[in-house]
A = this chain, B = another copy of it.
Amino acid sequence: MSPAADRQRFARIALSFVAEPGDLMLGALLRACSPAEAFAAICDGRPPELADAAAYGRIGGLGRSIERWAARLGAVPTKSRLAAWENAGIRVVCPGDPEWPTQLEVLGDTQPVVMWLCGSADLRFACLRSVSMVGARAATAYGTHVAMEMAAALAERGWTVVSGGAFGIDACAHRGALSANGVTVAVLAGGLSYGYPQGNHELFAAIRGQGVLVSEWPPDRRPTRPGFLVRNRVIAALSCGTVVVEAGLRSGALSTARHARDLCRPLMAVPGPVTSQMSEGCHEIIREWSALCVTTAQDVIEHVSPAGEGLGARRRGPAYPRDRLDPVSTAVLEAVPARTGAGPAAIAVAAGVDLNTAIGSLGALAAAGFVERCARGWRIRKKA
* Residues of A in contact with B (beta carbons under 8 Å apart): 20-25, 61, 65, 68, 110, 142, 145-146, 224-226, 229-230, 233, 248-250, 255, 258-259, 262, 270-275, 277, 279-280, 283-284, 286-287, 292-293, 295-296, 299, 315-317, 331, 334-338, 340, 342-343, 345-352, 354-355
Cβ-defined partner of A287 (8 Å) among B292, B317, B340, B347: B292
**13 A-B pairs, CB-CB below 8 angstroms?**
A20-B345, A22-B346, A23-B345, A25-B345, A68-B343, A142-B273, A225-B340, A226-B342, A230-B350, A248-B317, A271-B283, A271-B286, A280-B295
Assess the A233–B349 pair: CB atoms within 8 A. yes
Within 8 Å CB of A331, what residues of B?
Answer: 258
Which one of A270, A287, A293 has the greatest number of beta carbons of chain B within 10 Å?
A: A293
Within 8 Å CB of A146, what residues of B?
Answer: 274-275
Within 8 Å CB of A226, what residues of B?
Answer: 335-337, 342, 346-347, 350
* Integer count of this chain's copies in the complex: 2
Within 8 Å CB of A255, what residues of B?
Answer: 334, 350, 352
CA–CA, A340 to B110, complex, Å? 22
**Inter-chain pairs besides A249-B316, A271-B272, 12 sampled, C-beta below 8 Å:** A65-B345, A110-B349, A145-B275, A225-B337, A225-B338, A225-B340, A226-B350, A230-B349, A230-B350, A233-B349, A250-B334, A280-B315
Cβ-defined partner of A272 (8 Å) among B273, B280, B287, B299: B273
Please name the residue on chain B nearest to A231 by beta carbon. B350
Please name the residue on chain B nearest to A228 by beta carbon. B350
CA–CA, A31 to B348, complex, Å? 19
Within 8 Å CB of A262, what residues of B?
Answer: 352
A352-B271 in contact given A283-B295, A293-B293 (Cβ < 8 Å): no
Please name the residue on chain B nearest to A380 by beta carbon. B225
Within 8 Å CB of A249, what residues of B?
Answer: 315-317
